[in-house]
Amino acid sequence: MTDQIAELRVSNDAINDSEELRRRIREEGYLFFHKLQNPDKLWDLRRQMLNRMTPWLVEGTDPIDGIADISRQCTEGDPEYTDVYHEVYKLEAFHRIAHEPEVLDLLEKVMDTPVFPHPHKVARLWFPKYTAHTTPIHQDFVHFQGNFDTYTCWAPVGDCPIELGGLAVMPGSHKINAVMNHHFSLGAGSLCIHTDELEGQWHSTNYEIGDTLIFPALTVHQALPNLTEDRLRVSLDNRYQKLGDTLSEHMLEPHLNIFNNLTWEDVYKDWKTDDLKYYWENQDNRIIPRDLSYSEKGFSEALELAKAGDKRAHIAMNRAIRRDPNSPQAKAAREALALA
C-alpha cells in the first residue's frame, strides 16, 4: 500500500492565516504541520512514557528506543494492555502536553473561537509484527461523538517513518457530512469502513517528532501497519472542540476506564500541580449520553462472523471472555464460539 500513498500537504506557510487554515481544512479535511509542537518536550514525554512501558520492552535496552519484546504483544481490549497503558495514563506530562499553547492557539485559529480540550486524553501504543490489529479505516465520530466539529490532534512521540505505522488520511472524505457505515474489525475501536465504500487516495508522510496532523470527526483515516522488526509506535491522539458545544459524557472519563474502573483520583494521585485537575467542571458544555449503537452493531456482526468460523471474530470473542468472563458479552461470545 505504501507505494500508493501521497504526501500530506504541509500548512506551515499558512500558520498565521486563520482564513486560509479554515479554507484548507474545509476543502481537504486535514491540516498538517512540521514541528508544530516542541520536540524537546515530546522527547522528555517519550522517555517518561516508555519508562512506564518497560514490561513490554527488551530487557537491557534503553527505554527511549522503544525496543519491543514481541512475546508481550497486546492491544486495546486486552487486560495486559490496559495494565501498562494506565500507568502511562497517570503521567501528568502526558495530560499537560495536550494543553500546550502552540496546539490551543492553532486550533483557536481553525475554529475561530475558544477551544475546549477533552479530558479523555488518548495515547496509541502499537507493537510491531501485529498488523492484524492495526487501527482500521474509520471516522472518529463513531468513537468520540458529541458533534461533527470535534477535531483530532495526532502527533508521534518520537520520529515515525512510514514503516512504523503513522496515520493516513483520505482528503475530502469529510465532505460526505454524515457518519458512514461501520462494521466489525480488529484494531483500536473495533469498527471499520469497508474499502468498497470509499473513493480517494491516502495521504501520509514520514513523520518527525513535533509534526502534528489535525482533522475533524468525519475525515476518513487509518493507521498504517507497524512493519518494523522490533519498535513500538507511540503517539498522542487527543480531541478538541468549541467551548460550549455538545460533548458525549464518556469524553469526561479516563480512556479505557471501562476495562478496569480507573478513576481521575487514580490518575491524579502523584501529580505535582492542581491546575488541570477536573478543569472541565468549570466549563459550560452540553453533555449528552454516549450512543452505544455503533459498538453494539460491531459486536453483533462479530458474533455472527464467529459462528461462521471467522478467525478475526474468534480473536474478538476470546478477548471479550478474558476481559470480563461474567459479562453479557462474554456469555454471548462463548455461545458463538460453541456454534463455530
pLDDT tens for 268-299 read: 999 999 999 999 998 888 999 999 999 999 99
In this prediction, residue 3 has a pLDDT band, given cuts at 50, 70 and 90, of low
pTM of the predicted model, to two decimals? Answer: 0.96
pLDDT in tens, 221-245: 999 999 999 999 999 999 999 999 9
Cβ-Cβ contacts under 8 Å for 90 (sequence gap 6 or more):
266, 267, 269, 270
Residue 283, pLDDT score: 85
Question: By mean pLDDT, which of 18-22, 171-175, 194-198 is the weakest?
Answer: 194-198
Confidence of residue 1 (pLDDT cuts 50, 70, 90): low
State mean pLDDT over 105-118: 96
Cβ partners under 8 Å of residue 267, min gap 6:
89, 90, 95, 254
User: Residue 86 pLDDT > 90, yes or no?
Assistant: yes
Is the model's pLDDT at 132 over the cut of 90? yes
Q: Given this model, what pLDDT does residue 106 score?
A: 97
Pick the CATH number of 2-288 from 3.30.450.90, 2.60.120.620, 3.40.1110.10, 3.40.50.12780: 2.60.120.620
User: DSSP per residue over 245-303, as a string?
Assistant: S-EEGGGGS-TTGGGT---HHHHHTT-S--TTTTGGGGS---EE----HHHHHHHHHHH
pLDDT digits (tens, 9 = 90+) for 291-327: 999 999 999 999 999 999 999 999 999 999 999 999 9
pLDDT at 134 over 70: yes
Domain ranges within the chain, ordered by starting residue: 2-288, 292-340
